[in-house]
Amino acid sequence: MRLGKKASDTKIFVEAFCSTIEDALLNQEKVVLTGFGSFKIIKYKPSQTTTVRGDKTIIDKGVAVHFHAGPKLKKIINHKE
């Protein structure tokens, strides 16, 4: 979809939009884009796993960004009317 905006204006908007989401996630806030989905930070504990060779390895604790698709996005992706 074309909105008739200059690429430079679009770039400024997208950078500001992404920066706002980044700031919220860094503050441990959940970000909800109605119909599209939500982002949140999840923390995971260290764990032990076994590689395909049978070696045991430790996965350090950490954080990750989790995205959950909203109903409108799921509908589009699944081509449902």
Question: Would you list the domain boundaries of the chain?
Answer: 7-77
pTM greater than the 0.85 cutoff: no
CATH class, 7-77 region: few secondary structures
How far is the C-alpha of 77 from the C-alpha of 68, rounded, in Å?
Answer: 13
Tens of pLDDT, residue by residue over 32-80, are 999 899 999 999 999 999 999 999 999 999 999 999 999 999 988 888 6
Give, in degrees to the nearest 5, the angle at Cα 10 between 4 and 16: 150
Residue 3 clears pLDDT 90, i.e. is over it: no
For the stretch 39-44, contacts whose Cβ atoms lie closer than 8 Å and that sit 24 or more positions apart, written own/partner, are: 39/65, 39/66, 39/67, 40/65, 40/66, 40/68, 41/65, 41/66, 42/66
Would the pLDDT of 23 be above 70?
yes
More confident residue, 68 or 2: 68
